[in-house]
Each structure stands twice: as structure tokens, then as C-alpha cells.
Homo-oligomer: A and B are copies of this chain.
């Protein structure tokens, strides 16, 4: 790839705060990696502050993905970029945190024909083609199939393509926007034509630090299809406000979405806080690709989006049994 910035010389180095935002690696961690492993090795500006060149930032993004997939920082942080790429390529569960919960192997076909078409539209920067393909998929699969099965696969494929450098960030943004548009339209249609709404009342949101809204939207679609009364607060609601909202809306279920982006520690801590603050009779359902999302007391782990229908049915049975 020839550098399109050759005219304006080079992509500008980033400050430590910018890298934290961009890669999701805390400042403290960046500094301690530098001290312990010798990478990253940022330049310094006139005021002795770190300046991370673009290639090191790219390497950090690879690292984040590897570590999220189970590699240990000490083993991989100092590795050169090409070895990291090899590891990424081999990322169909090489170390993968010794199989923990038994059934973790939801088969996601990363390279289906649909994914190829999506990636092709992105490569061509063709928003219209992307949109119409997504809309077509929605029609072909139905909202349940689209949000429950195809969507997660596409998101995974796009994320993987980005991680191996096949997509730029702006292409991922374009995908996210088009996907959001298609899904929101469909959800709007379900809400407009839907029959009477039934319990459980579901409140959807993500914790602070989790900016990814697609999972939330797909979950909303699944709940809406089951006839649940859904209220979504969008992303990044403070824990205290989630608890307040749960009371205000008399929510039966609090549905939280966790992408790979959020730190495992943040997720656990936030869930624990939330469980303490939310009404005891409100169930907390947590789902998503976040690797650190293990069983937590008082929190129901959603296996995958397609399983939401079953979870709702189970809730209704148990609610009926209590009355």
C-alpha cells in the first residue's frame, strides 16, 4: 500500500492519552509495558512527553487482540510485528485460556459468502451496496436470524479484517453506521406493528467504558421479537443511573452488552456494583463477546443472541410459577 499521505509527509504520532482512547490500553499499562518489556518505545516531544508513532500504535492494537484472545502480555508484548501477525492469523484458538466453561464454541463462520460480500463492499467504499446487502440479508433471514445469527458473524468478520490490517478504521465505522441503520429501521417496524407487549420489561444499556452499541441493538431486536417491553438507554450509562432507571421503569430484566473492547476487569467490577445497587428482584442478564465475562453471582450469562428467545421463555415460566 503506497502511503497516500506522502504529500503531507507522514501520519502524526499520538499522545499517550490518544493511544489509550484508540487502543483501549490504560496509560498506566502503557508505561509499565515500556518499562518491563521495552515496548512500546515512544518518541518524546519537546516537553518529554511520549509520542507514539503510527506503526507502534498498530502493533498495540494487534497486542490487544492477542491478549484478549488469551495470550499473556509477557510473552507477546516484546514480539516483532510479523510474529504478531502470524499469531493473529493462527487465531483460531491456539492458547485460548484453557477451555473453561464447557460450551464456549459457538461456531461463527468467519468467512461466509455474506461476510465476503460485506468486506467487498467495504473495500470498494460502496455504502449503498453495503446497505442494500444488509437489507437483503434482513429480508432473507428475518429479523431474528439477522440479529441472532448473521449479524454477529458479520461483526466478527469485520473486526477480524480490521485486526489483520485489511480494513481501515473508517471502513469499520461505515459498516457500523449502515448496520445500525438497517437494524434500527427493523426494530422500529417491529415496535410499530407489534402486538401487545408482555413481560418481562427489559431495560437495555452498556456500562461506562463500553462504547459499542451494535450488540445492544441486536439484543433489543431479539427481545422485541419476543414481545418484551423494551427500553434502551443507549451506551455507557453510569452504574448508579442504570439502577435508578431500573426502578423508574420497573424493569424485570436488565440486559447489558459487552464487546471485546471492554476490559474484563471493568466488566466484572461494574457488574458487581450494579448487582449491589439494582433492585434485588431485577434480574441482570449479561451477554457479548467480552472474554472476561464469566459467571458472576446474581448475574445471568447470556450464551448468545439467538438464545435470548429461550431465556425469555424460561423467565416467563418461572414468573408464571410464582403467581
Contact = CB atoms under 8 A, between A and B. Distances in A.
Given A8-B277, A125-B249, A231-B127, A238 B176 contact: no
A237 B12 contact: no
How many copies of this chain?
Answer: 2
Contacts of A239: 18, 21-22
A191 B170 CA distance: 21
Contact of A238 (B22, B188, B231, B266): B22
A141 interface: no
Given A4-B247, A18-B273, A249-B125, A237 B187 contact: no
Interface in A221-276: 231-234, 236-245, 247-249, 266, 269-270, 273, 276
A81 B170 CA distance: 43
A108 interface: no
A268 to B, nearest CB: 12
Given A173-B234, A185-B184, A247-B4, A17 B269 contact: yes
B22 A173 contact: no
Most central of A14, A21, A54, A276 by chain B CB within 10 Å: A21
Q: For chain A, what secondary structure do more than half of its interface residues adopt (helix, strand, loop), or is it mixed? A: helix
B18 A244 contact: no
A70 interface: no
Given A185-B185, A276-B8, A241 B177 contact: no
Given A12-B240, A18-B269, A233 B170 contact: yes
Contacts of A184: 180-181, 184-185, 188
Nearest to A21: B208
A170 B241 contact: yes
A248 B125 contact: yes
Given A21-B209, A247-B4, A273 B173 contact: no
Interface string A112-135: 000000000000010100010000
A237 B170 contact: yes
Contact of A170 (B23, B173, B181, B248): B248
Contacts of A236: 211
Contacts of A54: 240
Contacts of A191: 131
A34 interface: no
6 contacts: A5-B243, A8-B277, A11-B240, A170-B237, A170-B244, A173-B237
